[in-house]
Amino acid sequence: MKKVVCIGLFSLPFALFAQLHLNLFGGFTNYQGDIQEKVFTLDQSNGGFGAGLTYDVTRHFSIRGGLMFGKASADDKRNKPSLQARNLNFTSKIYEANLLGEYNLFDLSEKRFTPYLFAGIAAYHFSPYTFDTSGNKIFLQPLSTEGEGFYDNRKTYKLTQLAIPFGGGLKFRVTENVTIAYEIGLRKLFTDYFDDVSKSYADENLLLAQKGPKAVEMSYRGNELKNSNPDYPVAGTLRGSAKQKDWYYFQGINISIGLGAITGGNFGRRQLDCPGRVL
C-alpha cells in the first residue's frame, strides 16, 4: 500500500507537467465588417501574435488558454467605388484573453499530423481610432459618430466585450515535444461597432449639440475628397449595415513546445522508484 501511494504522489506532478505545452503564435490579424467586405483576406491585414498554455486531457482533447494581440484596420479608399465616397477608415488594437477546447482528429503519438478544431470563449478590448486632416489621432467611441447614447435609442458600445472564438487547422509533429500548426481562428462578436460603423447618420445639428464639431467631422468625411459632396447627409441616410455583426480573426503559425518528456506508452507519465523507507 505504501508503494502504491508513493508512486501516485511522485508520478502525479510529472504527469501534469508532461502534459503541458507552451504555445507561440505568429501571423496576421484582419476583420470583416462595414469597411472591409472581403472575408479571409490578407488585404489590409496586420500582424498578430500570441502565447499561452495547453493541457492535454486525453490523447485527442485538450484545454488551452492564451493571450492574443493584433491590430485591425481598413479604409474606404480600398473599397468598391460606391463606398469610397463615404471616405471612412479606422484602426484598432486588439487585446484578447481566451479559453478554448481543442479536439485533434488523430493521435499525434501515432500519427505525424492531424486536423484539429477549437472553440471557446474570449474577452477582448478594442478602441477604434482614425486621424483627422491635421494628422491628429482621434478615438471614435467617445464621439458617438452615429449618435450612440442619445439618438434613436442607440446605446453606447463598450470597448471591452465577450466573443466566441472558433476555428481549426492542421498540426504536424516535428519532434517528440514540438508540433507546428497552421490555423485560422474566427471571433464572433456581439457588436457591430468594432469599426465604429453600423447604422445610419444621426441628425447633424443634434450630433453637433451633443458631441461637438469633431464628432460631425468624423461622422461624415466624404467632404474631404476632391469633387465630393460637401454636405452632411440627411439624418437616416445609411452609413453602414447592421444586418451582420463584425468579426475579427487570426491566421498563422502556432508552435507548441512540450514542457515535459513525453513517453508514448504512458501518455506523458514518468514513474519514480520509492525510497526504501518513507517517513
CA distances from 113 to 24, 46, 105, 181 (A): 18, 28, 9, 9
Looking at the DSSP assignment, which residues form a beta bridge with residue 119? Answer: 101, 166
CA-wise closest residue to 68 among 18, 137, 16, 118: 118
- Residue 159 makes CB contacts below 8 A (sequence gap 6+) with 125, 126, 127, 141
pLDDT at 1: 46
CA angle 224, 228, 230 (to 5 degrees): 70
Q: Give yes or no for a contact between 88 and 198, defined as CB atoms under 8 angstroms apart.
A: no
CA end-to-end span of the chain, whole Å? 14
Predicted structure pTM score: 0.85
pLDDT at 260: 63
Residue 274, CB half-sphere, CA atoms under 13 Å: how many?
Answer: 13
Residue 45, CB half-sphere, CA atoms under 13 Å: how many?
Answer: 18
Residue 75 identity: D
pLDDT at 228: 84
Can you read off the three cell numbers belonging to residue 235?
439624418
pLDDT at 7: 40
CA distances from 163 to 95, 121, 127, 257, 267 (A): 12, 6, 15, 27, 33
pLDDT at 80: 86
CA 181 – CA 53 distance, rounded (Å)? 15
CA-wise closest residue to 251 among 113, 70, 22: 70
Low-confidence stretches of the chain (pLDDT beneath 70): 1-18, 260-279
pLDDT at 22: 97
Q: Which helix (H) or strand (E) holds 206?
A: helix 204-211
Residue ranges and CATH numbers for the domains of the chain are: 2-266 (2.40.160.20)
pLDDT at 68: 98
Give the pLDDT confidence of 30-65 residue by residue, as tens digits. 999 999 988 889 999 999 999 999 999 999 999 999
Can you read off the three cell numbers belonging to residue 51?
502565447
DSSP 3-state of 158:
coil
